[in-house]
C-alpha cells in the first residue's frame, strides 16, 4: 500500500481493476516510429533559442503569394499613431524570415478586435483567441 | 519498479533535437543544472507491473467517462466552474459522442501498491514528443532487446483514422498559441499533425492568434480564408470559451469537429477528482477528494480546478504547509488527500500514463526533488525488463 495512509476497511465500489484483458506475450511498444517533417522543424526551433527578439513587419495583405510570403511596406501604414487612413489590408506580421523585401513564415497576432478587410470584401476578424502563456498540462 | 543509472548516448543532445525535442533547454528554468531530458537514469518495470498499471488506467478512464455522464445527467456544471451558456454544448457533444483522441493520467505509483490517480490531463496533455518518440529511440539505441510501454505513436496514427471517419471532409487545422516561446507547444502540435499525416489526413498549421471569424459565413477561417471544419488544438477549452471568440466557438460547434471535443472540459477539470470519489468511494486507484473543503482530510493538497504545471497548489499536513506560486484558482479548488510521491535516489517520479481513444497506450515519467511536479521536472525514459 506504499507509504500513504492506511486504507479504511470499507467495501470498495465497482468497477474494480481487473487483470489485463489483452493477449499475453504481446509487444508493448511501437514497432516503428517514423518521423518526417518534425525533425527539420525541431532543428529550426532548437536553433532559435528562447531569447530572440521578434521583429514586427508591416505588410500588405494584398501582396500575399502562394509561397506564403508578404511584401513588407512602410511601418506608417500599420502604425496607429502616424497613419490616419484606412487600415484595411495592412497589418503587423511578427517574426518570420526575410527574402529580399518579402517576409516568410511569420505570424499575425493582435491587436484584439482588429478588423481586416480582405480582397473579397468580406469581413474577417482575427485575434479573438490567445494572449495567454503556457497552455499544456 | 527500479531506478537505474545508464550512460548517456554520445551526442544525445543532437539526437533528441533532430527527433523533435527542440525545447529541452527552453522549457526548463535556466538555473537548473539537470537537463530536462535526462538519460543518465531510467526506470525499469517488470511486465507484470506494466500490465497491472495498464489495467488500472483503463479502469480509471472508464470511471471518468461514467463521471462525465453523471455530471451531464445531473447538471453539476457549477461544481466545475463551467459557464452556464457553455453547458448545452458540452451535453450535445457528449450525446453525439464526438470523437476523442488522447489524454494523460498522472499517477502516483511506487511499485508496491495500486497506482493512484492524481489527475487527468485529458484536454491539452504535453510531454507527448518525449514519451512517444524520444524515449522510444533511446530504448532502441541502448536496450534494443527490451520492451517499453509505449505504443503511443502507432495508436495515435490509428486514432486519427477513426477521427477522420467521423470528421467533415477537408484538411485538419492544427492550432497552438504562439505566446509559448519555449517551442514545446509548436513541436507538440507539429507531432500531432505528423501522426495525422501518417493516417492520411491533410494538415494545416495555424497559430490560434491567427484564426479568423468570417462574419458572412459564420465560420472560422484560416489565413487563406479557408473554412476550418476540423481543428486539433493545443489550447485549453476553458480559455477558448473565455476568449473574445468564445461565443463564436459555441455557435460554430455543430458544424465542426474539435480534437479534443468540448465534453473533455469535464475531465481536464480537477472537480472530476471529487466527483470520482463520490461515485467510487474507496476505490483502490483513487485518493479521497472533496470540493470546496478538505472535509475529513488531515493531510491534503489543495488544487485549483483549472491549473497547469503544478502552479497554485498548496500542501497542508499536520507538520506544516507548502505552496507553489500561481494565479489559478478563480473557479475554486479541490482538496485531495496528500500522498507524497515515492522517493527513488532522492527523486520523486510521477507516472504519466497515456490513453489513446479508450485504450492505454504508454508511459512517460517526470521526476522532481520536490513534492509537486512542476516545470522544474526532468523527463526520464523507461524500459520493461525481460526476466
CB contact under 8 A, A124 and B225: yes
CB contact under 8 A, B244 and A129: yes
Picking from B22, B63, B214, the nearest residue to A46 by CB comes out as B22
Residues 67-106 of B with CB under 8 A from A: none
Strands B230-233 and B172-176: parallel
Looking at beta carbons, which residues of chain A come within 8 Å of B181? 50
pLDDT for A55? 64
| Lookup result for grid cell 507547444 | B185
Q: Which residue has the higher pLDDT, A63 or B270?
A: B270
The structure's pTM equals: 0.83
Nine cell digits for residue A58: 508591416
CB contact under 8 A, B187 and A45: yes
Q: Are A94 and A109 in contact (CB under 8 A)?
A: yes
Looking at beta carbons, which residues of chain A come within 8 Å of B154? 30-32
- pLDDT single digits (tens) A78-89: 665 444 344 457
Picking from A3, A13, A39, the nearest residue to B110 by CB comes out as A3
pLDDT at A24 over 90: no
Looking at beta carbons, which residues of chain A come within 8 Å of B156? none
Q: How far apart are CA B2 and CA B22, in angstroms?
A: 29
Nine cell digits for residue B384: 520493461
Let me know how long chain B is.
387
Distance from CA of B53 to the nearest CA of A (A): 9
CB contact under 8 A, A129 and B54: no
Nine cell digits for residue A15: 468497477
Asked if the C-beta of B204 comes within 8 angstroms of chain A's C-beta atoms, the answer is no
pLDDT at A104 over 60: yes
- The phi, psi pair for A4, rounded to 5°, reads -80, 180
CB contact under 8 A, B18 and A42: yes
Which of B184, B180, B190 is CA-nearest to residue B232?
B190
CB contact under 8 A, A42 and B22: yes
Which helix (H) or strand (E) segment holds residue A104: the answer is strand A102-104
Tens-digit pLDDT string for chain B (387 aa): 999 999 999 999 999 999 999 888 877 777 788 999 999 999 999 999 999 999 999 999 999 999 999 999 999 999 999 999 999 999 999 999 999 999 999 999 999 989 999 999 999 999 999 999 999 999 999 999 999 999 999 999 999 999 999 888 899 999 999 888 788 899 999 999 999 999 999 999 999 999 999 988 999 999 999 999 999 999 999 999 999 999 999 999 999 999 999 999 999 999 999 999 999 999 999 999 999 999 999 999 999 999 887 788 999 999 989 888 888 888 899 999 999 999 999 999 999 999 999 999 999 999 999 888 887 899 999 999 986
Using CA coordinates, name the residue in chain A closest to B119. A137
CB contact under 8 A, A112 and B244: yes
Q: How far apart are CA B262 and CA B275, in angstroms?
A: 19
What secondary structure letter does DSSP report for A61? Answer: G
Picking from B153, B184, B207, the nearest residue to A136 by CB comes out as B184
Annotate chain B with three-state secondary structure. Answer: CEEEECCCCCCHHHHHHHCCCCCCCCCCCCCCCCCCECCCEEEEEEHHHHHHHHHHHHHHHHHHHHHHHHHHHHCHHHHHCCCCCCHHHHHHHHHCCCCCCEEEEEEECCCCCCCEEEEEECCCCCCHHHHHHHHHHHHHHHCCCCECCECHHHHHHHHHHHHHHHCCCCCEEEEECCCCCCCHHHHHHHHHHHHHHHCCCCEEEEEHHHCEEECCCCEEECCCCCECCEEEECCCHHHHHHCCCHHHHHHHHHHCEEECCHHHHHCCCCHHHHHHHHHCCCCCCCCCEEECCCCCCCCEEEEECCCCCCCCCEEEECCEEEECCCCCCCCCEEEEECCCCCCECCEEEEEEEEEECCEEEEEEEEEECCCCCCCCCEEECEEEECC
Q: Are B125 and B102 in contact (CB under 8 A)?
A: yes
Looking at beta carbons, which residues of chain A come within 8 Å of B62? 15
- The phi, psi pair for B348, rounded to 5°, reads -115, 110
| Lookup result for grid cell 508496491 | B112
Looking at beta carbons, which residues of chain A come within 8 Å of B150? 28-30
Distance from CA of A96 to the nearest CA of B (A): 13
Using CA coordinates, name the residue in chain A closest to B57. A17
Asked if the C-beta of B337 comes within 8 angstroms of chain A's C-beta atoms, the answer is yes
Which of B183, B234, B235 is CA-nearest to residue B21?
B183
Q: Are B266 and B272 in contact (CB under 8 A)?
A: yes
pLDDT for B36? 94
Looking at beta carbons, which residues of chain A come within 8 Å of B223? 108
Distance from CA of A95 to the nearest CA of B (A): 11
Q: Are B318 and A5 in contact (CB under 8 A)?
A: no
Distance from CA of B69 to the nearest CA of A (A): 16
Using CA coordinates, name the residue in chain A closest to B182. A50
Please state the ipTM of this predicted complex.
0.84
Helices (H), chain A: 37-48
Q: What is the mean pLDDT of chain A?
A: 64
pLDDT for B118? 97
Q: How far apart are CA A105 and CA B135, in angstroms?
A: 30
Looking at beta carbons, which residues of chain B come within 8 Å of A129? 177, 208-209, 211, 235, 240, 243-245
| Lookup result for grid cell 482530510 | B297
Helix (H, G, I), strand (E, B) or coil at A75: helix
pLDDT at A106 over 70: no
pLDDT at A91 over 80: no
Q: Report the greatest alpha carbon distance in chain B.
A: 65
> Mean pLDDT across the stretch A58-64?
80
Give, in degrees to the nearest 5, the angle at Cα B33 between B27 and B38. Answer: 70
- At residue A62 the predicted structure's pLDDT band, cuts being 50, 70 and 90, is confident
CB contact under 8 A, A124 and B212: yes
Amino acid at each position: 500500500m506504499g507509504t500513504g495512509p492506511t486504507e479504511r476497511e470499507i467495501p470498495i465500489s465497482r468497477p474494480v481493476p481487473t487483470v489485463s484483458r489483452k493477449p499475453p506475450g504481446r509487444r508493448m511498444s511501437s514497432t516503428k516510429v517514423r518521423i518526417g517533417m518534425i525533425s527539420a522543424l525541431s532543428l529550426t526551433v532548437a536553433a532559435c533559442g528562447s531569447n530572440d527578439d521578434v521583429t514586427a513587419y508591416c505588410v500588405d495583405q494584398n501582396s500575399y503569394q502562394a509561397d506564403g510570403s508578404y511584401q513588407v511596406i512602410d511601418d506608417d501604414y500599420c502604425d496607429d499613431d502616424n497613419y490616419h487612413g484606412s487600415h484595411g489590408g495592412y497589418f503587423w506580421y511578427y517574426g518570420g524570415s526575410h527574402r529580399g523585401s518579402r517576409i516568410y513564415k511569420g505570424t499575425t497576432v493582435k491587436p484584439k478586435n482588429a478588423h481586416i478587410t480582405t480582397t473579397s470584401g468580406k469581413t474577417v476578424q482575427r485575434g479573438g483567441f490567445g494572449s495567454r502563456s503556457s497552455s499544456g498540462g | 519498479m527500479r531506478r537505474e543509472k545508464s550512460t548517456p548516448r554520445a551526442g544525445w543532445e543532437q539526437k533528441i533535437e533532430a527527433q523533435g525535442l527542440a525545447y529541452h533547454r527552453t522549457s526548463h528554468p535556466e538555473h537548473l543544472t539537470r537537463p530536462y531530458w535526462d538519460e543518465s537514469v531510467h526506470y525499469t518495470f517488470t511486465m507484470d507491473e506494466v500490465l497491472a498499471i495498464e489495467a488500472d488506467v483503463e479502469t480509471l478512464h472508464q470511471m471518468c467517462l461514467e463521471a462525465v455522464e453523471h455530471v451531464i445527467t445531473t447538471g453539476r456544471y457549477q461544481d466545475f466552474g463551467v459557464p452556464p451558456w457553455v453547458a448545452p454544448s458540452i451535453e450535445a457533444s457528449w450525446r453525439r459522442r464526438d470523437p476523442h483522441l488522447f489524454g494523460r493520467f498522472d499517477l502516483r505509483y511506487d511499485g508496491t501498491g495500486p497506482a493512484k490517480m492524481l489527475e487527468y490531463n485529458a484536454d491539452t496533455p504535453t510531454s507527448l514528443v518525449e514519451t512517444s518518440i524520444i524515449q522510444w529511440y533511446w530504448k532502441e539505441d541502448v536496450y534494443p532487446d527490451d520492451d517499453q510501454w509505449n505504443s503511443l505513436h502507432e495508436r495515435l496514427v490509428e486514432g486519427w483514422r477513426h477521427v477522420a471517419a467521423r470528421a467533415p471532409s477537408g484538411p485538419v487545422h492544427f492550432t497552438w498559441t504562439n505566446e509559448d516561446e519555449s517551442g514545446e507547444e509548436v513541436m507538440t502540435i507539429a507531432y500531432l499533425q505528423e501522426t495525422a499525416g501518417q493516417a492520411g489526413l491533410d494538415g494545416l498549421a495555424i497559430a490560434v492568434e491567427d484564426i479568423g471569424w468570417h462574419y458572412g459565413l459564420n465560420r472560422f477561417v484560416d489565413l487563406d480564408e479557408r473554412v476550418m471544419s476540423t481543428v486539433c488544438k493545443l489550447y485549453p477549452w476553458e480559455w477558448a470559451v473565455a476568449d473574445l471568440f468564445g461565443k463564436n466557438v459555441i455557435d460554430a460547434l455543430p458544424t465542426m469537429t474539435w480534437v479534443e471535443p468540448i465534453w473533455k472540459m469535464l475531465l481536464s477539470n480537477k472537480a472530476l477528482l471529487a466527483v470520482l470519489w463520490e461515485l467510487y468511494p474507496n476505490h483502490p486507484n483513487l485518493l479521497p477528494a472533496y470540493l470546496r473543503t478538505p472535509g475529513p482530510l488531515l493531510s491534503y493538497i489543495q488544487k485549483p480546478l483549472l491549473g497547469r504545471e503544478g502552479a497554485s497548489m498548496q500542501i497542508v499536513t499536520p507538520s506544516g504547509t507548502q505552496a507553489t506560486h500561481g494565479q489559478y484558482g478563480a473557479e475554486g479548488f479541490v482538496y485531495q488527500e496528500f500522498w507524497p510521491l515515492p522517493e527513488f535516489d532522492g527523486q520523486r517520479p510521477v507516472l504519466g500514463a497515456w490513453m489513446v481513444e479508450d485504450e492505454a497506450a504508454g508511459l512517460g515519467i517526470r521526476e522532481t526533488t520536490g513534492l509537486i511536479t512542476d516545470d522544474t521536472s526532468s523527463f526520464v525514459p523507461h524500459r520493461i525488463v525481460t526476466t
